[in-house]
Amino acid sequence: MSYKYGMAALNLKMTDLVPRMEFSAHVHFDLIKKLTGIDGTLPEMADKASAAFMKEWDYSMKSNYLIGHQVLGNWQTYMGHAVYNKDGSDKNSHVFTPFKGEEEVYNFDPFEKIGAPDIDEWVTKFNEDYARVVNIFSDVVNMTGTYATCMSGLIGVFGWDWILTCAGNDPKRFGEMTNRYADWMSRFCIALAKSDAPAVTFHDDIVWTEGAFIHPDWYRKYIFPNYKKMLKPLIESGKKIIYVCDGNYTEFIDDIAECGVSGFILEPTTDMQYIAEHYGKTHSFVGNADTRILLLGSKDDIYNEVKRCMDIGKKCPGFFMSVGNHIPPNTPIDSCLYYNDFYMQMRKR
């Protein structure tokens, strides 16, 4: 299937097979070695192993972004990092914040502290990033995009303690600072609109697993109006805008759709049935099998989870099958194989 099926889904054209994308499976190197024989743990073989695996599993699209917390420079709060990689190499106990009090948070201005992003420079960087992934993963829909988009950027700048304290104590001033951050990030979005990528990732973690962590009215005053401003050049450029948010953003699905995104990527806690019923003919969406079932469930459990997703999504032209909250390297290989077998069995419309 690959690229043509991915583009068809993004353009809401019904295909005979349901396309697919996955998260993290392409670095599950034990699984990859079993299927391809390539040892991706060797640095010089990692990209080759991932690309071979994606062909084996018949990906049609791959998520990618360029703008992460690196653009924040010295204005980052470090909260440490738990182990995710199999070898534990990503564990980080470093905890630090450059902010000494609430006033510094409310008064933060990224134009003053970091500097205005050079739009032309970032067009070049986005094009280089897009060309890089196309060169490695040649037969899927590739993209570039942003991760530190709005709330995810504020999490990177301030960390949870300052965000929850300041948004709780003075939501208006915290919102005004959010507006300044969004103005700063808008320059990256202008550059992204001028880039070569036909599809872009717009990733912003605005919620937790339980949902919103600030009053919903605050989001509707300070997040979604900024989304509209940031997305305007991308919409005008004709890009397919794939919105990504971890956790449960069910209560904000309508707000996000109104901002002009083309599609949704969602974890299992967000209601995919609602998206299918209300936006299944107008938007693409990716998801949302639960990785916990692959980690802990039986073969029958995995079958039922794939069937649940297919029953919801198969009638929608923009649906991509996926494990919405990643297939990490500790997922049992047999469970991964069961999942793939069931997807292959059920993907025919």
Q: Please, what are the averages of pLDDT over each run of 10 residues along the chain (349 residues)?
A: 93 98 96 97 96 97 96 92 68 84 98 98 98 96 97 97 98 98 98 98 97 98 98 98 98 98 98 98 96 98 98 98 95 98 98
N-term to C-term CA, the chain: 14
CATH ID of 65-266, from 3.40.50.12780, 2.30.42.10, 3.20.20.210, 3.30.360.10 = 3.20.20.210
Calpha distance 192→235 (Å, rounded)? 11
What's the one-letter identity of residue 68?
Answer: G
User: Domain boundaries in the chain?
Assistant: 65-266
Which of 10, 71, 41 lies closest to 263 in space, CA to CA?
A: 10
Calpha distance 115→118 (Å, rounded)? 9
Calpha distance 280→324 (Å, rounded)? 17
Calpha distance 263→246 (Å, rounded)? 14
Number of H helices, E strands in the chain: 15, 10
Residue 78 burial (CB count, 10 A)? 15
Structure tokens at 228: 């509209």
The CA-based angle 24-30-33, given to 5 degrees, is 105
pLDDT of residue 238: 97
- Residues 170, 229 contacting (CB under 8 angstroms): no
- Provide the 3-class DSSP secondary structure of residue 82: coil
Calpha distance 22→57 (Å, rounded)? 9
Give me the helices (H) in the chain, please. 3-10, 29-36, 46-56, 102-106, 110-113, 119-136, 151-169, 171-193, 216-222, 224-237, 253-258, 272-279, 291-296, 299-313, 333-346
- Residues 54, 62 contacting (CB under 8 angstroms): yes
Residue 82 burial (CB count, 10 A)? 9
> What is this structure's pTM?
0.95
